[in-house]
Structure 1
Amino acid sequence: MNLVKPLIALLAIVNPLGIIPFFILFTESFSREQKKRTILVASISAFLVIAVSTLIGADLLHFFGISIASFQVGGGMLLLISAISMLNAKTGATKSTSDEVEEAADRASVAVVPLTIPLLTGPATISTVIIYASNTHHWWQHAVLIGYGVIIAGAAALCFMAAEPIARFLGKTGINVMTRLMGLILSALAVEMMSDGLIKLFPGLGR
């Protein structure tokens, strides 16, 4: 398994830069200490979601009798939907709805829901981790994927800590450009994931 692709895919689908406007919205009335705690809880939660998906995701598929090939096709479609939304400079439809965003803005604590789930690590992220974890053959490859969870959590924490300076520097246009770029990368990975699953399901397609 190419261990670079999972990191690229996770960075593209999580896209912490694209979540900055939501972080600013949800925490605009928070004190400095409350923001620090929100960042800490959100980053740790994101890591835990990726780590748990890596360790038991494939077992869950086996328990429900779902083949990896079928999950690759379904997960690839989910990624493609997210990628199309990102190409339109929108938070993916698989991440949150407008009603969820409005409801979250009124909550005292938003670190886990909706910042971590579904904005940072939604269904598309979980699907990606499970698919790549299912293609590993050694314990150290699982360890690398879990290590990528640390990188994702760190990237999210850094973006959130510097949210206001980044928002001022990039502006809405800059963040939209970055989101579209991540969407383009993600769409290519989604097509590759779906094609790999389809070839496993229908070997004749690979001839």
Structure 2
Amino acid sequence: MQNYILSALTTLLVVADPIFLSALFLGLTSDMSEEQRREVALRGAVIAFCILLVAGLGGAKLLDLLGISLSAFRIAGGLLLLWSAAEMVFDRRAQRREDIAKSAITIDHVRNIAAFPLAIPLMAGPGAITAMILLAGRAEGDWSRLFALYAVAGAVMLACYSCFRIAVPISKALGITGRAVISRLLGIILAALAVQFVIDGVLALSR
């Protein structure tokens, strides 16, 4: 059991990478208030945990039932992530703020960012979902191991949330110029990550 928990914790931490995600979180929420960032962080962590929970309970069967392969899921997630990266690089959110009333953004925009791209495909992306499916398979129906796996997933999501909360004061220290530079830089990194998702999915399909 101890080896299983350690393996699950290591795998999910490496795949989720909370420290790297906290940097992306800064870019995605650069136009939000502290309260909105807190809501995005909490909602994102909860949504991502629910996705991982479903993946562990029967993700493989669900994808098979829908006729969707993990490779196709990876490609779709990568393409959607690429769109979000383009927004960060070209600062299209600023243009959108001019076209949409601030009151309309407050609720819908915050919830949308929490669900996509923060929760999926960043926190609970193809890698994390695949890891959950494989780790659940290793449990071989042992409910004590499955419970431990879900507890580990919850702990990893809590670690992500904690890193997001630490990222908020960092954003204040950077200032407007610093946030603008980092947002574009991270947008390029996010675009590269999205392209890698697509490449991995295509390579897996071609095998």
TM-score category of the 2 structures, normalised to the smaller one: 0.5 to 0.7
Q: Would you say how many aligned residue pairs link Structure 1 and Structure 2?
A: 153
Match of 2:128 in 1: 125
Match of 1:101 in 2: 85
Structure 1 residues 145 and 23: CA distance shift in structure 2, 3 A: same
Match of 2:30 in 1: 28
2:59 maps to a residue whose letter is G
RMSD (Å) for aligned C-alpha atoms: 3.6
Match of 1:59 in 2: 61
Higher helix share: 2
- 1:94 is displaced (CA, Å) by 4.9
Provide the C-alpha distance between the structure 2 equivalents of 1:147 and 1:129, rounded to a whole number of angstroms.
12
- 1:28 is displaced (CA, Å) by 1.6
1:4 to 3, 6, 9: 6
- 1:102 is displaced (CA, Å) by 3.0
Instruction: Tell me if structure 1 keeps the 8 A contact 2:34–2:168.
Output: no
Instruction: Tell me if structure 1 keeps the 8 A contact 2:41–2:161.
Output: yes
Q: How does 1:135-146 map to 2 (within 5 A)?
A: 135-137=138-140, 138-146=142-150
2:20 maps to a residue whose letter is G
- 1:100 is displaced (CA, Å) by 2.3
- 1:64 is displaced (CA, Å) by 7.3
Could you list the per-position Cα deviations for residues 101-123 of structure 1 after superposition, in whole angstroms to 9, with x for gaps in the alignment? Answer: 23477382211100111111111
Instruction: Tell me if structure 1 keeps the 8 A contact 2:21–2:122.
Output: yes
DSSP-derived class of the 2:139 partner = coil
Provide the C-alpha distance between the structure 1 equivalents of 2:137 and 2:66, rounded to a whole number of angstroms.
15
Structure 1 residues 14 and 36: CA distance shift in structure 2, 3 A: same
Gaps of 5+ in 1: 79-92, 173-207
Match of 1:114 in 2: 117
Structure 1 residues 95 and 115: CA distance shift in structure 2, 3 A: farther
**Structure 1 residue 15 corresponds to structure 2 residue 5:** no
Q: Which has the higher contact order (CA 8 A, sep 6+)?
A: 2
- TM-score in terms of structure 1 length: 0.61
Instruction: Tell me if structure 2 keeps the 8 A contact 1:20–1:159.
Output: yes
- TM-score in terms of structure 2 length: 0.61
